[in-house]
Amino acid sequence: MLLGVSIGSSLVVGIVGYVSGSDSLRDAAYSKLTETRESRAREITNYVKNTEDSQVVYSRGTTAINAVTAFSAGFDALQSSQLTTEQNAAVDSIYTKTFAPELTARSGLQTDPTAFDPTSPAARYLQYHYTNPTLDYTATLAKDDAGDGSAWSAANNEYQDYFREIITRFGYEDALLLDTTGNVVYSAYKGVELGTNVQTGPYKGTVLASGYNETLNSNQVDFVKITDFERYQPSLGAPAAWIMSPVGEKGKVTGVMAFQLSIASINGIMTANNGWASDGLGETGETYLAGPDQLMRSVSRQLIENPDQFQKDVISAGTAPDVAAREVEVKGSTLLQPVRTAPVQRALAGETGTDITTSYLGTESIVAYAPLNISGLQWVIVARIDTSEAFAAVNDFTRNLVFAIIALILVVSLLSLILAQVFVRPVRRLVGAVRQVTGGDLSVEVPQGARDEFGDLGNAFNDMSRSLRIKQALIDEQTDENEKLLRTLMPDDVAKRYKEGQETITDVHHDVSVLFADLIGYDAYAAGVDPEKELATLNTIVASFDEAAARMGVESVRTLREGYLASCGLGVPRVDNIRRMVEFSLEIRKIIERFNAQHSTNLSLRIGIDAGTVSSGLVGRSSLAYDMWGDAVNLANRVQQVSGAAGLFVSQSVRDRMHDAVVFVEAATIDTADGSQTVWQIK
């Protein structure tokens, strides 16, 4: 019987351990992959945002405004220029001998050089003097003045170094300036687009042309347009994306400045500069971008590390052989590698989640996917790793657990055989067991003896031991539940004082930030759903608030159906409590925005923040409640009520301490005991 019980217990423990352990390891794998996806998403979003901000700074600067004016004037002056027959032949040879053959070789399509040959006198003049016959862009970037004495060359001599420095430092592929009629009046690399017109010339169907029209028609000098990648013929069919903005001042647009984004920069972010292993993605993990056409917008890891195996795998998974060969040839997968997988499709539909699916390489992978929040681009991000690697820890755990159970069963069996050879008198066993119980060990039991009085006594003892153990377990369980419940009602230090017998517990706290938040629009939302779903939705929102509060050092004090009261510096004094509370208010507003985006709702928050001295303590006798009161609490509540509309409203004291970090606008005034006070709104 001892042997059977021991073996059965070992098996049960092993099964429970396997289920619990394997689930935990799987969850850890998903969590790690999700964290990697979020990290990469933040990096690529910040890269685009920083690029957009830089674009606005450049386009509104005096240098860019003067450059557009100078190049446009120089370009217009060249429209009356004339080239000699030999000079015209030299321009034509750029297209017949270099550009058209190379574009044909790169694209695989026959190229007619006359379709790209510049027609305007200014374009032909500039390409003769600046465009390298072999399309050596390094040479043209370094060239400041052709020495022809034209106004355009004088402008290039003055501004080429400025744009060359931007391109070199920030990794752009090219910089263009366009006048208000669509002429490319300047190119840093002096490629074949120099002097052409994006509205009437050979590149009028490109995203450069459509982006130019949208930028020019925006009538906003701080407008920024970012385009998706497309195959750009002046770059010999290589993928190109543009970021552009109007150039001008005082509301008058004089041209458009466009920078060609670097694929290498995007690939560097998505590959962590080829540091996948150090980034926690092991030997098979990667992150990549995809567009609405379900083609990659970044490079594949396997293409970099093992091109031959990559070509075999993607072809086996359904990629056309010529496409796979092209990817290996150009060492890139942007606009080439299809990723028509379920996660990409769900992400394009606006969903965020994880899944196990077959990757574009044909391997089973766990995947974390999400759409990217980049204005003007419908890109999604996917993080993946082969299940064989991701769940390797689960397999190792299972193997080790099986070996441990087998070893345990063998040990138990051996011990049982030994004990079977030894007869210990029942009374001694029982005396020893009683002494253990007396010492507080309620888990002790005596082996069952023969069917006699001693055997009955042993059984009775075992029953008593089990009963005591169960009762003690119930008592411990109830004690734990009571402890958990008490800690949900009040902070730990207050709970400790209450358990020690204090009946009147109150504290005064100095320099505490207080936040009142009202959920606006929830009644309208709740009117259309059943009560159970309404409560579940509300709990989801509150749980997100509580998680953000715990993460940012803010303490949740009280939650009502449409209200939320929180403090910072109450339980744990913090010198930066106002900053934390302002950041927390911005964070819960983002939570509501994400909730609206996911559920197509129109909820908003009306938030009031004040800081000062507050009191806290236990209220009531038979029904305890932990509460907070004081002038700061009252003022925070009044501040958020100054307007019926949603917004983040703060008192004068909060604004005084945060005016260097946050933009405030005056919202209203309220009367307080100390006089009239201005209420400010965070923008």
d(CA 159, CA 63): 8
| Cβ within 8 Å of residue 72, ≥6 positions away | 177, 179, 183, 185, 254, 255
347: confidence class by pLDDT, cuts 50, 70, 90: very high
461: confidence class by pLDDT, cuts 50, 70, 90: low
d(CA 228, CA 379): 9
Whether pLDDT at 424 is above 60:
no
Position 676 scores a pLDDT of 87
97-106, 323-332, 419-428, 445-454: which has the minimum mean pLDDT? Answer: 419-428
CB of 195 within 8 A of CB of 118?
Answer: yes
Instruction: Tell the residue number behind the tokens 């690399």, with chain if given.
Output: 189
Q: Homologous superfamily of 24-44+270-392 in CATH? A: PAS domain (3.30.450.20)
22-36, 280-294, 532-546, 581-595: which has the minimum mean pLDDT? Answer: 22-36
For the segment 477-481, the average pLDDT, to the nearest whole number, is: 73
CB of 360 within 8 A of CB of 29?
Answer: no
79: confidence class by pLDDT, cuts 50, 70, 90: very high
3-state SS, 494-554, equals: HHHHHHCCCCCCEEEEEEEEEEEEEEECHHHHHCCCCHHHHHHHHHHHHHHHHHHHHHHCC
Whether pLDDT at 278 is above 60:
yes
Which among 182-186, 386-390, 633-637 has the top mean pLDDT? 182-186
Whether pLDDT at 590 is above 70:
yes
Question: What digits encode the pLDDT tens for the residues 591-613?
Answer: 999 999 998 888 999 999 999 98
| H-run or E-run covering 652 | helix 652-658
Its sign, for the CA torsion 437, 441, 445, 446, is negative
Position 7 scores a pLDDT of 75
Q: CA-based angle 671:677:679, to the nearest 5?
A: 110
674 or 104: which leads in pLDDT: 104
By the 10 Å C-beta count (0-12 exposed, 13-18 middle, 19+ buried), 464 is classed as middle
13: confidence class by pLDDT, cuts 50, 70, 90: confident
By the 10 Å C-beta count (0-12 exposed, 13-18 middle, 19+ buried), 217 is classed as exposed
Closest CA to 340 of 294, 293, 395, 388: 294
Helices (H) and strands (E) in the chain, counts: 23, 19
Q: Where are the domains of the chain?
A: 2-8+396-489, 24-44+270-392, 61-261, 492-682
d(CA 270, CA 45): 11
Position 49 scores a pLDDT of 92
CB of 670 within 8 A of CB of 639?
Answer: yes
Which residues are bridge partners to 122 per DSSP? Answer: none
CB of 93 within 8 A of CB of 133?
Answer: yes
Q: Is the pTM of this model over 0.85?
A: no
Whether pLDDT at 422 is above 60:
no
For the segment 235-254, the average pLDDT, to the nearest whole number, is: 89
194 or 106: which leads in pLDDT: 194
Whether pLDDT at 423 is above 60:
no
In this structure, which amino acid lies at residue 500? E
pLDDT > 90 in the chain, percent:
49
Whether pLDDT at 625 is above 70:
no
Instruction: Tell the residue number behind the tokens 């005596």, with chain if given.
Output: 446
Position 524 scores a pLDDT of 84
Q: CA-based angle 433:439:444, to the nearest 5?
A: 35
For the segment 312-339, the average pLDDT, to the nearest whole number, is: 93
Fold of 61-261: Beta-Lactamase (3.30.450)
157-166, 232-241, 520-529: which has the minimum mean pLDDT? Answer: 520-529
- Give the architecture-level CATH label for domain 492-682: 2-Layer Sandwich (3.30)
Position 93 scores a pLDDT of 93
For the segment 399-420, the average pLDDT, to the nearest whole number, is: 76
Position 475 scores a pLDDT of 73
Question: What digits encode the pLDDT tens for the residues 352-369?
Answer: 999 999 999 999 999 999
Position 82 scores a pLDDT of 92
Q: Do domains 24-44+270-392 and 61-261 have the same CATH topology?
A: yes
d(CA 673, CA 638): 13
CB of 506 within 8 A of CB of 493?
Answer: no
> pLDDT averaged over the chain?
86
Whether pLDDT at 244 is above 70:
yes
pLDDT > 70 in the chain, percent:
89
Position 488 scores a pLDDT of 59
Position 108 scores a pLDDT of 79
**Reduced to 3 states, what is the DSSP secondary structure of residue 29?**
helix
